Structure 1
Amino acid sequence: MTELPATHPERPTEPEAERTVTIERMIHAPREVVFEAFTTVDHLSAWWGPDGFTTSTRAFEFREGGEWVFTMHGPDGADYAEWIQWREIVAPERIVLLHGEHAGDPNAFDSVVTFDEVDGQTRVTLSTVFPTKQLRDTAVEEYHAVEGGAQTLAHLAAHVEG
């Protein structure tokens, strides 16, 4: 990720801790299996998203600088445009990504996904840093980001454990 200069007008002024949401789950599967499920479109399409959501992919290239362009279909019939750019990939340990509605989205947020091996299992930690505290609060309060993230990781667990 590119660090903005301390005096840059777009640099966040709130502390990172106030702009962050972290979700963690222990998954009963080897790290390489969990990492693969997070990095191939066929796997992602099977588990990505909170309860009741499905995903349709328009473009997918898993490499640093590559993009995943997709639509999330909500249980209420609403469609949500989504875009992810893979920023850093350290297989099978870590993925850094930028997630928004589209390329250039000013409200896009950075996420780091880590895959830690623990006695043959995998602890997945998803840490998301929003551009502002207000965007974080909106994601948590209006869009239920914590619950949705926990549900998404539960779907990942069910996918690789089943």
Structure 2
Amino acid sequence: MTTTPALSVTTPSEREIRMTRIFDAPRALVFEAMHRPELLKRWLSGPPGWSLAECEADFRVGGAFRHLWHGPDGAEMGMGGVFREIAAPERIVRTEIFDQDWTGGEALATLVLSERAGKTELAVTVLYSSREARDGALASGMKDGVAASYANLDTLLAGTKRAA
């Protein structure tokens, strides 16, 4: 039997969602997996049946990123934004907006990585334009997609640690 770390999802304010999870890998490896397109394509799939088909990133402050997922029955979901802050290997702040803007405008996502005893705590806080946008994101199945992607990331990180 395999036990996977739990994804914690909380709402610290009327407009925010905070997701936290522990990874059994050093912070530097997790940080690389969070921004390198060739690594993102290997784990950021979302729920079963979806895959990250296109991933581009100009990883610098002011640089843009673009993700396009393909899903069942020809479904597509695209998202892009701009990197606002990068402090390797601990913090990335970026804007996010979906092509089908179901969240009511641009959101601001802050990723913070903290390492303790070779394990990394990942915390992502997303600030939405309104409480309704936040609640819509919560109702979208986002938690299941993030949990599935993070399970993929566990597998990727385990392979990377063995290869190192």
1:127 is aligned to 125
Q: Is the 8 A contact 1:27 1:161 kept in 2?
A: no
Partner amino acid for 2:151? A
2:112 aligned to which of 105, 114, 121 = 114
Superposition deviation, residue 146 in structure 1 = 2.4
Distance 1:58 1:149, change over 3 A: closer
Q: Give the root-mean-square deviation of aligned CA atoms.
A: 2.2
Distance 1:96 1:51, change over 3 A: same
Deviation at 1:115, TM superposition (A): 0.7
Question: Which has the higher mean CA deviation after the structures are superposed, 28-37 or 44-53?
Answer: 44-53
How many pairs align?
Answer: 146
TM-score (norm 1): 0.81
Over 3 Å counting, the alpha-carbon distance change for 1:106 and 1:133 in structure 2 is: closer
Q: Distance in 1 between matches of 2:45 and 2:37?
A: 13
Deviation of 1:157 (Å): 2.1
Aligned to 2:78: 81
Deviation, 1:140, is: 0.8
AA at the equivalent of 2:33 = A
Partners of 2:85 and 2:74 in 1: CA distance? 33
C-alpha contact (below 8 Å) 1:54/1:72 kept by paired residues: yes
Unaligned runs of 5+ in 2: 1-11, 160-164
List aligned pairs for 1:63-102, cutoff 5 A. Answer: 63-101=60-98
Q: Quick one: which of 47, 50, 54 aligns to 2:46? A: 50
Q: Return the letter of the residue paired with 1:17.
A: S
Per-residue CA shift, 1:36-88, capped at 9, x if unaligned?
11121100111113122211226321111111122111234300121131111
Q: Distance in 1 between matches of 2:45 and 2:96?
A: 13
Structure 1 position 106, deviation (Å): 5.7
Q: Where do 4+ consecutive residues of structure 1 move more than 3 Å?
A: none
Unmatched runs of 5 consecutive residues or more in structure 1: 1-15
How high is the TM-score relative to the length of structure 2? Answer: 0.80
What secondary structure sits across from 1:126 in the alignment?
strand
Larger mean CA deviation between 106-115 and 28-37 belongs to 106-115
State, as a whole percentage, how many aligned pairs show the same letter.
29
Residue 29 of structure 1 deviates from its aligned partner by 0.7
Partner of 2:14: 18
Instruction: Give a deviation string over 1:115-159, Cα, whole Å, max 9, x none.
Output: 100111111111111110001111111x11222222222222221
